[in-house]
Amino acid sequence: MRIHKYISLTGFCSRRETSRLLKNGRISINGETANKDSFVHEADIVLIDGMKIPQKTSAVYLAFNKPVGVTTTSNPEIEGNILEYIDLPERVFAVGRLDKASQGLILLTNDGELADRISQANYGHEKEYEVTVDQPVTDLFLQKMAEGVFILDSITKPAKTEWVSKYVFRITLTQGLNRQIRRMCKTLGYEVEKLERIRIMNIHLHTLEAGKWRYLRDDELSQLKKGLEI
């Protein structure tokens, strides 16, 4: 199998983190430095920084309310990274990303298949956000946000929008372009003052306080996996 999938299945880190390790030449297969096109076969010896990959422990699934200022990365060299902040006894990685200036729901796990299914845009899984902007939210603005906005050389996929209050609206996306909501708003003449993710598929933020985390309940996890067809 490809090196990205192999590392992901071990639960050591996400595919995104694997790409960083490969770029820095820190993964080897049978003593040879691996690259993004490398394959792993059954008898191969795969090392990271010259050491065997730790044996995967029981699967871990948790929800975290990321505060503003925390960076969604497991790279220990980056100050304020998410794993340093929550300081879990288990090794997990973040599913997808949420930019440093944003807050809200992040899922963390050591289940590579689940993380990949949620993160891949072609699966079209819903992520819901509550957004505060610097101008009154109008029906026309919500309509344009829902129909699609031209950013990053393409038109965003149709979204669901909902008026909350004079300066606040909700939007549900099925894709995850870089800083997508901020770019969409800016194109329409609005500036985002607060952006909070409140839902990923069937997992809701609800009353989970900023900076706190919790393990997913069995019923939540069962429904999540059903939605991911795992």
Active site residue 99: yes
Angle at 68 between CA 64 and CA 73, to 5 degrees: 60
CB 216 within 8 A of CB 63: yes
Which stretch of DSSP H or E encloses residue 106? strand 103-109
Instruction: Kindly tell me the burial class for residue 210, based on how many C-beta atoms sit within 10 Å of its own C-beta (0-12, 13-18, 19 or more).
Output: middle
Cβ neighbours around 147 below 10 Å, total: 12
Radius of gyration over alpha carbons of the chain, in Å? 19
Q: In a 3-state reduction of DSSP, which class is residue 131?
A: strand
Question: Would you state the structure tokens that stand for residue 139, as one six-digit string?
Answer: 């029906």
Q: How far apart are CA 60 and CA 116, in angstroms?
A: 15
- Identify the residue whose tokens are 């899922």: 107
Question: Would you state the structure tokens that stand for residue 199, as one six-digit string?
Answer: 């839902």
Name the active-site residue from 49, 99, 111, 153. Answer: 99
Write out the catalytic residue numbers: 99
